[in-house]
Every structure is written in C-alpha cells, then in structure tokens.
Amino acid sequence: MNWSENINEAIDYIENNLTEKIDYNKAARISCCSLNKFQRLFLFVTDINVSEYVRRRRMTLAAEELMKSDIKIIDLALKYSYESPEAFTRAYQSFHGYPPSVTRKFGVYNKYGRLSIQIKIHGGDLSMKTEQNKEKKVIKGVCEIGWGFSANPYAGVITACMEALGEGRDCELAGVISGLGFAYTWYPGAPNDAIITDDNMIKRTFDALGYKVSIYRDSDTHNTAQSRTKEFYKNQIISSIDRGFPVLGFGFTNSYPFACAILGYENGADTLYLRSYWDDNVTIDEETGYQRTSEWYDCCYGIVVIEEKITPAIKGKELLRHCLKAAVEISEQKTTQFYDITVPYGLASYDTMIGVLEDDGFWEAGVFSDAYADDRQNDFYGEMDRSYTCVGLLLSGFYKNCFAAPWLKKHTDASEAGNLIREGCEYYSMLDWLITQMIRYKPEFHDCKFVDNPSELVKREVREYKIPFIKIVKQLDKTAVECFKRALELL
C-alpha cells in the first residue's frame, strides 16, 4: 500500500466518524505516520488543515440534513459535536454565509465535497491531484463601487466588504472608522493611493467592525525572497470565500495597488470575481455583475484576509472616540510606509510639500519640462496641480468633505465635546473651500498658451500663489485636529 492509499484510508475513517468525536491520533496511525507528520502531509497534498476539512464536511452534511428533514438545530449541534446551538449557528453562518433557517426555507448552502487523493503521471512529471469542487463560488449581492461624494476606491471597497459580511452598507462610516476621512500625505509624483494602503488604516477599520485580520504584502514583480506564490494567494482566497468572507485585495486589475473586494473564485481561484473601481484586464460576469479576471497575479500587491468576528462592532460614544482618536493619531504620524517607500504623513506632509516646492533643485531636475508644457498647453497646469503640487491636499479636502464632516456632525450632541467636534468640522469646510479656490485661481499670466520658459512660469505660480495657500490649509487642518483632541479628552 502506498502513502496516497494510506491518506485515503485516513480520510475514510474521518468521513465515517463526522458525527462522532474524531481521534486524530487514530487517523495518523491509519496513514502509517505520526500525528505531526500526518497533519503536515494532509495540508501539503490538500491545501487545507485536517481540522478545517472536518469542519467544512460537517457543515455540508448538516446543510443537507436540514434540507431533507425537520431536525432541530439543537439536535444538529449535538450531532456534529458543537457545545450549543449558538456555537453551531455561528459556525454554520461563517461557512455557508447564511443561517440554518435560510437553508431550510430557500435551499441555499455551500457544498464542500469529500476529498480523494490520486497520483497521476504525465510525461515524466509527477503531480498530485486533490479531487474537489472546482465550480464557480461567489458571495452574491454586493453593489458596485463608484467614485464620487459617496465612494472612492478604499472606502468603496470597505463598504463592499461590510455588505458581504452582513454589516450594512455605509460609505461615510467606512471612510471615518478607517481614518481615511482624516488622512493626508504627499511626495513628488505620489499616486493617489499613497494614503490608502497604510496597515494602521486597515487594522483601524476592522478593529472598529470587530474582525481579526491578517495582512499579506507583496510587490507586483514577485521576485524577492519574501514574495508569496500564486498558490499561496489562491489558497487564502479559496479558504476565505468558502467561509463566506470576502478578501480585500491590492492591485489585481491594474498595475497600481488600489484596493478591491474579492468576492468569488472559479477553477481553483485561477479566475477571480471582484468589485473594483478599476476595470483594466477584466470582463463583466453577466450573472453577478462582478468583474472577472484571470490575469490577477502579475498585478497582485497583497491581500487582507478577514479571519473571524471576535467582538461586536463598536457603537455610540465608543465609536465616536475611535474616530476622533484616528484623527489625532494620523495628524501626529510623521511617515507611513508605501510598500518600499517611506513617505511623509499627517501634518508633516504639508511641511515636506512646501520644502520640496521651495527647493530650486526640484525644478532644475526637469520634473516639469518645457516640451511637456508646450505639448499639453493649458492642460499642463491642471496636470501639474493633480500630479505634483496638490494631490495630498486634494485628497485630504475630498475625504474630509465626503466622510469626516458629515458623519461627525450627525453623531454629536449639544455637549461641550459635541460643540468642539462641530467646530472642527467647520474648519474642514473652510479647508475644502480653500482647496477649491487654490485649484481654480488663475493669476493674470496663467492663460498664456505659449511662453518662452513655461517651467519658470509654473515655478513662479507655485511659489507666489500655491505655497501661501498650502500654509493656510495646513493651519486649518491643524486647528481642526486640536478641536478633536480637546473633544476626545471630554468624552
């Protein structure tokens, strides 16, 4: 008897005892190895822990029994080795995405089939195959992610994840609990996702919702010693979706690490179903409306795996305290890690922006070339604003306007702390208005389409008009956070 037959006999023992207490030592003896070796071998050939396999099979059999009989939940719980109906129901909903009552009424449930280990030889290439369901598996009913006053890539993705988890759909809340509504950063040529991939922001989001998460980072080149394989990501995604949990991904549809919500897989996760604002390299699935892609690994920058619900979502004053604390922490955080780049963060980002724009070396480096200015004519000025001098400020004003101020105003009372919070929100409104004026304002020489030295023209505009605006914006931001800090002490 070879080792694959031994493993299959151990699986037979497990299958025959799913309604009993399983002796894993006995399963290991049947497979002719130690318990530790059996567990490692099982994981290696099946990509799943033996205990997780048992859980999935029990939940599948329980669902089938719900469909075929009038068995009570308490009896199912006892039959499948759960200490209480509540514990069984939590495990059931975690795996199927629905409570037992929905399965019984509508017949919806997830099925995880019995495993069988085989060895096949193809042209001298020895490969192991685990027979299991390779069909399409999707968490359905998650709305589209947009960009506007109600959504942006990160907050929209968090909203999609909240919806998939049954936590409701509240984009303002997503933007504020994450700290996105208070965040700001800048460095020359910064892509506008620099502030949305900070690990503290991710942890802050899921702490507020009561979920434990694991964050796995990578680069799109996947050529470093720390790089994770495609199989690693596939296994993580399959495990999460099978439990009814979405996965927060970075990249997956284009070369930038923007966030997306991974909501399903097909063909062993070679093909993924997701919600993303970006639609590069994807097709639209007619059944779900989700984006569908098989070319995701080359632009995968990492994932956030939602492990389990560990506490109820925070509410009331505790939630307000969480949000104000985020505002204060972000303002005082001087740098953040943008993959392999350390970039200025919080209030420090304004000083960095001003310092760079006042440095002659920045302009002499040819960041704004005359040829580029001539080619783009008037569009050059808008491009300069968007990509180099204002990206942090633009995002800061946008996020505060969309998320922080409206949400905070709705959740404050007439107390001293509430008055301070509303005062801080007024500073945010002023900040947003000022940024708008800074972008729209044109000095008298701004309409020149062709000039002898366009780089000098932009340099003059930035130093005479933009930098003074930036200094005022920084002061408004700082004053707003001071209001929140004082309110936090009173709560």
End-of-domain residue from the set 270, 287, 310: 310
End-of-domain residue from the set 252, 284, 310: 310
Q: What angle do CA 274, 230, 54 make, to 5 degrees?
A: 80
Residue 454 falls inside a structural domain: yes
Question: Residues near 155 by Cβ (< 8 Å), separated by ≥ 6?
Answer: 171, 174, 175, 178, 180, 402, 403
Nearest to 250 by CA among 277, 212, 210, 288: 277
Question: Residues near 36 by Cβ (< 8 Å), separated by ≥ 6?
Answer: none
C-alpha to C-alpha distance for 340 and 325, rounded to whole angstroms: 27
Lowest mean pLDDT segment, chosen from 50-59, 159-168, 333-342, 476-485: 333-342
Are 142 and 63 contained in the same domain?
no
Are 58 and 104 contained in the same domain?
yes
Residue 79 falls inside a structural domain: yes
Cα end-to-end distance, the chain, whole Å: 69
* Confidence check: pLDDT of 279 > 80: no
Are 469 and 332 contained in the same domain?
yes
**CATH for 74:** 1.10.10.60
* Confidence check: pLDDT of 127 > 50: no
Are 301 and 347 contained in the same domain?
no
Are 233 and 344 contained in the same domain?
no
Q: How many CA within 13 A on the CB side of residue 288?
A: 23
Are 71 and 151 contained in the same domain?
no
Are 304 and 366 contained in the same domain?
no
Question: Residues near 403 by Cβ (< 8 Å), separated by ≥ 6?
Answer: 155, 171, 172, 174, 175, 176, 180, 181
Stretch 18-26: mean pLDDT = 90
* Confidence check: pLDDT of 281 > 80: no
End-of-domain residue from the set 105, 130, 155: 130
Residue found by looking up tokens 């919070």 in the block: 421
Residue 403 falls inside a structural domain: yes
Which percentage of the chain shows pLDDT scores above 70?
77
Residue 174 falls inside a structural domain: no
C-alpha to C-alpha distance for 396 and 430, rounded to whole angstroms: 12
> Whole-prediction pTM value?
0.67
Chain-centre distance for alpha carbon 424? 28
Which residue has better confidence, 214 or 129?
A: 214
Residue 195 falls inside a structural domain: no
* Confidence check: pLDDT of 375 > 60: no
Are 105 and 78 contained in the same domain?
yes
Are 95 and 144 contained in the same domain?
no
Q: How do residues 340-371 score in pLDDT, each as one tens digit? A: 667 788 888 888 888 877 877 666 655 554 44
Residue 182 falls inside a structural domain: no
Residue 157 falls inside a structural domain: yes
Are 68 and 162 contained in the same domain?
no
Chain-centre distance for alpha carbon 142? 15
Lowest mean pLDDT segment, chosen from 122-126, 380-384, 458-462, 474-478: 122-126
C-alpha to C-alpha distance for 352 and 358, rounded to whole angstroms: 10
Stretch 437-449: mean pLDDT = 59
Are 484 and 342 contained in the same domain?
yes
Are 466 and 416 contained in the same domain?
yes
Q: How do residues 288-324 score in pLDDT, each as one tens digit? A: 889 999 989 888 888 999 998 999 899 888 999 999 9
Q: Are 151 and 163 in contact (CB under 8 A)?
A: no
Residue 177 falls inside a structural domain: no
Where residue 483 falls among pLDDT bands split at 50, 70, 90?
A: very high
Domain housing 220? 137-169+211-310
**Helix (H), strand (E), coil (C) string for 224-263:** CCCCCCHHHHHHHHHHHHHCCCCEEEEECCCCCCCEEEEE
The per-residue pLDDT for 129 is 43
Nearest to 404 by CA among 205, 183, 159, 181: 181
The per-residue pLDDT for 105 is 66
State the chain's mean pLDDT as an integer. Answer: 79
The per-residue pLDDT for 14 is 92
Instruction: Indicate the number of domains in the chain.
Output: 3
The per-residue pLDDT for 339 is 64
